[in-house]
Amino acid sequence: MKRWNKSYTGFGLFCLSFFICFAGSAMAADPKYPTKPIEFIITMAPGGTMDISCRALCEAASKHLQQPIIPINKPGAGGALGASIIKDSKPDGYRIGILSRPAAFVIPFAEKVSYDPLTDFTPIIYFGDYVDILMVRGDSPWKTWKELIEWAKAHPGEIKVGMPGSKYMQVQGIALGQIELRENVKFTYIPFKGASETLTALLGGNIDVYSTTVDASTVDYLKIGKVRLLAFSGKIKLPGYESIPSTDELYGISVCNFIGVVGPKGLPSYVAKTLIDAFQRGIKDPSFVDVMQKMYTPIVGMTGEEVGKYIAKTYKEQKEIIERLKKEEAKK
C-alpha cells in the first residue's frame, strides 16, 4: 500500500510538473497579431511611383494578415518627415511604413534629422528598385550622352539639370556630382517641387536635362519621341532600351537603390516575422506584380536582417561619396 502511494505520489508530481510546464508554455506563447488595422506611412506624395507601388503592396500583403493595411501619405523633406513618424511610433506593429533612399542615404548627411537609419528602425522588406534615367527633349541637339558631355566641356555651367529637390538631397544629384568630377564639367542644377513640374520644365525648354525615376508617363513620352533617353543613372535598364549606356558602364557610377518597408526599433520578433511573411507573400501576388511591371519597377524581395545589412553598407558608401564631393567642391 505504501509503495503504491509512493508511486501514485510520484506519478502525481510528474503530472503536476507537466501541467505547469504546459501552462507556462501556453502563457509564454506569442500574442495574436494583428488584431486591428495597420497604418502604413508612405513618405511621398500621392500619385507617384512610390505611392502607387506601396498601395498595391499594402493591398496584397493585407490578404495574409486578415487585417487591412491602411496607406497614409506623409510627404515632406524628401521622406525624412515620414521616417521620423515611423521612428517615433509605438513598437507594436500597428504603424510601419517606407524608408526611402533619400531619407536613408542622403538627407542625414545634408541636414539634421531626428532619426538614425542604422539604429532606429526594424527592417521588414526591401521590395523594389527604381530605374533612373537622364533624358533630354526629343528635339535636343544631343543624340548621345557623349555628345552632351563634349558640349558641356565647351560651355561650363550652361547645361541646366532639373530634378525634384536640390542636388545633394537626391541620389541622382550625387551620381551626377561624381560624373562632373570625372569628366571635369559643370552643370547648373534647378530644383523643383515634384516630378510633373520638372517634366513640364523640360518639355517647355526651361531645363536641358531631366534626371528622374522612370514611371509609366515617362515611358509614354519616350515612345512618342517627346523626350530622348541619353543614359541610365544606374545598373537597371528599361526593357527595349538596353543599347542605351548606363553611368555604371561608362564610369562605374550608379545611384543607390532602395524601396524599403520598416517599423520602429524594438518590434517584437513575432510581429516582425508576421509582417515579413505577409510582405513576402504580397510581392508574389499577381495584382502587385502587374502594378510593378506597369510602373517599370523591378521587384527585389530582400527581407529582415539582410535588409539591415544592405542599409548599413549603402549608408557607409553614400557617406564617403558625399564627403568626398563636398571636399572637392570646397577646393574650387
Asked if residue 93 belongs to a domain, the reply is yes
* Domains contained in the chain, number: 2
Q: Which three cell numbers stand for residue 61?
A: 500583403
Question: Residues 81, 182: one domain?
Answer: no
The proportion of the chain whose per-residue pLDDT surpasses 90, expressed as a percent, equals: 73
Residues 6 or more apart whose Cβ sits within 8 Å of residue 189: 160, 161, 162, 163, 166, 167, 173
Asked if residue 297 belongs to a domain, the reply is yes
* Between residues 139 and 49, the one the model is more confident about: 139
CATH of the domain at 269: 3.40.190.150
Asked if residue 280 belongs to a domain, the reply is yes
Distance, in Å, from the CA atom of 108 to the CA atom of 50, rounded to the nearest integer, reads: 20
Distance, in Å, from the CA atom of 32 to the CA atom of 29, rounded to the nearest integer, reads: 9
Distances (CA, A) of 111 to 84, 99, 102, 107, 155: 14, 17, 12, 6, 32
Question: Residues 234, 317: one domain?
Answer: no
Sign, CA dihedral 270-59-309-263, equals: negative
pTM of the model: 0.85
Asked if residue 24 belongs to a domain, the reply is no
Question: Residues 236, 154: one domain?
Answer: yes
CATH of the domain at 168: 3.40.190.10
Question: Residues 42, 95: one domain?
Answer: yes
The last residue of one of the domains, among 216, 239, 255, is 255
Question: Residues 246, 307: one domain?
Answer: no
Cα angle: 324, vertex 325, 328; to 5 degrees: 85
Q: Give pLDDT tens digits for 110-133.
A: 889 999 999 999 999 999 999 999
Distance, in Å, from the CA atom of 124 to the CA atom of 57, rounded to the nearest integer, reads: 13
The last residue of one of the domains, among 255, 290, 312, is 255
Distance, in Å, from the CA atom of 99 to the CA atom of 119, rounded to the nearest integer, reads: 13
Average of per-residue pLDDT values in the chain: 90
Q: Give pLDDT tens digits for 137-194.
A: 999 999 999 999 999 999 999 999 998 877 878 889 999 999 999 999 999 999 987 7
Question: Residues 105, 181: one domain?
Answer: no
Distance, in Å, from the CA atom of 226 to the CA atom of 133, rounded to the nearest integer, reads: 15
Does residue 224 register a pLDDT over 50? Answer: yes
Question: Residues 138, 153: one domain?
Answer: yes
Question: Residues 112, 141: one domain?
Answer: no
Asked if residue 32 belongs to a domain, the reply is no
Q: What is the mean pLDDT of residues 90-110?
A: 94
Domain span holding position 42 = 38-129+257-324
Question: Residues 79, 63: one domain?
Answer: yes
Q: Which three cell numbers stand for residue 29?
A: 506563447
Asked if residue 8 belongs to a domain, the reply is no
Burial class (CB in 10 A: 0-12, 13-18, 19+), 91: middle
Asked if residue 33 belongs to a domain, the reply is no
Question: Residues 279, 301: one domain?
Answer: yes
Question: Residues 76, 89: one domain?
Answer: yes
Distance, in Å, from the CA atom of 147 to the CA atom of 20, rounded to the nearest integer, reads: 79
pLDDT band at residue 321, thresholds of 50, 70 and 90? very high
Where on the phi/psi map is residue 308: left (φ > 0), alpha (ψ -120 to 50), or beta? alpha
Asked if residue 118 belongs to a domain, the reply is yes
Distance, in Å, from the CA atom of 165 to the CA atom of 272, rounded to the nearest integer, reads: 33
